[in-house]
Structure 1
Amino acid sequence: MLEIGPGLGALTEPLLRRLNYLTAVEIDTDLQKYLAERPIAQGKLHLVAADALTLDYSQFGSQLRVVGNLPYNISTPLLLHLLRFASYIEDMHFMLQKEVVERMAAQPGTKAYGRLTVMLQYHCAVEHLFDVPPEAFDPQPKVDSAVVRLIPHRVSPFEIVSVAQLERLVASAFAMRRKTLNNNLKGIITVEQLSTLGIDGNKRPEQISIPEYVQLAKFISN
């Protein structure tokens, strides 16, 4: 199991009581020293001094289980980085800002549905497990938190397309949420081509399903 951002060990120590071995990625040298000196860590905790946003997670082998109370300010880029290693990961459990979890698990046609939704659900089954109120923390944050589970698809429910192409397409589509697909994808695909694919270009990006985005990415790639 691998923990990202162990901090002062609020999650690390309960994990070490249940595990024989835990790898933890921590960039802060003071926190590394603090964790390494904890009695419960002796012989059981392997600290990796690295930036979780740039780390090559393939080095830890396959069937990796990833957990963490993720820093809210880097959660989106970190999640998108982890997707690059989805084939090495068995599952991921994170506590995040509730608003981010709602975006991750959103359905088309909702306000929370966006770029993060499409990219995560293309790679993983996403489940909003439960909420964590501010009073569970000391000091209390000003936002609600939630725990989410991500399980990478072993057999994708979608057509396989270029992930880079899908990322570019989705970023363009959601660049201006209040605009239509025709407007946001101008110069990428024509109104006529959208119509040929059976996709209504007058819809806003949050009204387009993941299979439709995959269909668009495949068409553009060809």
Structure 2
Amino acid sequence: MQNTRETIKKYNIQLTKSLGQNFLTDFNVVKKIVNTADVGQEDVVIEVGPGIGTMTLELAKRAKKVIAIEIDKRLIPALEDNLSGFSNVQIINMDIMKADINAITSEYDSSNIKVVANLPYYITTPIIMKFLEEDTKADMMVFMIQKEVARRIVAGPGTKDYGALSVAVQYYSKPEKAFDVPPHCFIPQPDVDSAVIKLIINKEPPVKLLDKGMFFKTVKCSFAQRRKTLINALYNTGGLNKSKEEIKEILKSMGVDENTRGEMLSIQQFAMLSNLLYESSL
């Protein structure tokens, strides 16, 4: 493993706070992340934000192919130099939010595609949701993210961390937190603790929906005003065009108390609620 400090000095790399650049320096953490992703000889790995290639090196040793997507062009020379000994690494200088992941992976078998990334904290959720919503062919994703966000992703109904992000990620995958990573494992040290999560992508959604758009709109409205009851949250947020009485009747038909808050509903109950709201709009 290359010395991160020496590489930064050698290439005179000025880390950019706006890009959320915190480079991993602990090789044990790197190995634990790659082990969590269970990377093997047949796997094609998409790595987001490889930086100077600290984790890319370990991925390249184990995977069939590594596609490293890095937004910062200043890091490309160091990345290319550090990975020059590997013919199975493709480096792409691009903003991941503008990338067509399916086009990039079109030639590979979907059952062997994995995503591994140390994500910048300022854009964690948009990147995760991009991979999930665009129906990329990956069957597993492993992300290092802010510990607080990891708690929200894996949270269940009735907990303070449970919210729209929990429901959205759990609609597309089965998330689990793998382990925590303290700030001293990075250069520069972030102000928060980090955690590694693993998402096993659902081959089929866990619930049957009449309208996917209505489902996510219902979830978003339900958590928009957490302190309010579900009836008031759904009515006040707008977009559903339902009276309080209509919402009350729908909840009653589900056996849900009218004073219930959104955080108490499971993903199955949200599916039932959105289906009933959709049917009543026809």
Q: Same fold (TM over 0.5)?
A: yes
Per-residue Cα deviation, 1:79-116 (whole angstroms, up to 9, x for no partner) = 11111234612100011111111000001000100010
When residues 82 and 163 of structure 1 are mapped into structure 2, their CA distance, relative to the original with a 3 A threshold, is farther
| Paired residue type of 2:144 | M
Greater alpha carbon shift after TM alignment, 102-111 vs 27-36: 27-36
Corresponding pairs, count: 222
Cα–Cα, structure 1 residues 202 and 220, in superposed 2: closer, same or farther, change >3 Å? same
Give the AA of the match of 1:179. K
Q: Runs of 5+ in structure 1 lacking a partner?
A: none
Verify the 8 A CA contact 2:71 2:94 in the aligned structure 1.
yes
Question: How far has the Cα of 1:42 moved from its partner?
Answer: 4.5
> Which residue, out of 4, 28, 34, partners 2:78?
34
Q: Say whether 1:17 aligns with 2:74.
A: no
Partner in structure 2 of residue 203 of structure 1: 260
* Identity across matched positions, percent: 38
- Paired position in structure 1 for 2:49: 5
Counterpart for residue 157 of structure 1: 206
1:192 aligns with 2:249: yes
**Separation in structure 2 between the aligned mates of residue 7 and residue 161 of structure 1, nearest angstrom:** 42
Partner SS state of residue 88, structure 1: coil
Letter of the 2:118 partner, please give it. Answer: N
Q: Does 1:142 align with 2:205?
A: no
Check whether the contact 2:102–2:137 (CA below 8 A) recurs between aligned residues. Answer: yes
Contact 2:60–2:86 (8 Å) recurs in 1: no
Specify the alignment match of 1:90 in structure 2. Answer: 139
CA deviations on 1:178-207 (whole Å, 9 max, x unpaired) are 111111101534212221222223111111
Q: Is the 8 A contact 2:53 2:83 kept in 1?
A: no
Residue 25 of structure 2 is matched in structure 1 by: none
The higher radius of gyration belongs to 2
Question: In 2, Cα distance between the equivalents of 1:69 and 1:87?
Answer: 19
2:250·2:277 contact (CA, 8 Å) conserved in 1? no
1:183 pairs, out of 208, 232, 235, with 232
Show CA shifts across 1:63-92 (max 9, x none): 320000011110111111111234612100
Summarize the Cα distance change of 1:41–1:22 in structure 2 as closer, same or farther, 3 Å threshold: farther
Q: 1:86 to 1:161 in 2, by over 3 A?
A: farther
Secondary structure of 1:214's partner? helix
Matched, 1:119 2:168: yes
Other-structure match for 1:174: 223
Contact 2:52 2:82 in 1 (8 A): no
Query: Separation in 2 of the partners of 1:149 and 1:78?
Result: 15
Give the whole-Å Cα distance in 1 for the aligned partners of 2:146 and 2:255. Answer: 36
Aligned-partner SS, 2:187: coil
Q: Which of 56, 61, 69 is the equivalent residue of 2:118?
A: 69
- Relative to the length of structure 1, the TM-score reads 0.92
Greater CA deviation, 198-207 or 104-113?
Answer: 198-207
Decide which structure has greater helix share: 2
Inter-CA distance 4–125: structure 2 relative to 1 (3 Å threshold): same
- How far did residue 7 of structure 1 move? 1.3
Out of 162-171 and 121-130, give the one that drifted further: 162-171
State the one-letter code of the partner of 1:50: M
* Runs of at least 5 residues in structure 2 that lack an aligned partner in the other structure: 1-44
Partner residue in 1 for 2:92: 48
Judged with a 3 Å threshold, the aligned counterparts in structure 2 of structure 1 residues 215 and 98 are, in CA distance, closer, same or farther, namely same
CA-based RMSD? 1.8
Deviation at 1:220, TM superposition (A): 2.3
AA matched with 2:78? Y
Alpha-carbon distance in structure 1 between the residues aligned to 2:83 and 2:170: 40
Deviation at 1:216, TM superposition (A): 1.5
For 2:5, the equivalent position in structure 1 comes to none
Whole-Å separation in 1 of the counterparts to 2:164 and 2:63: 36
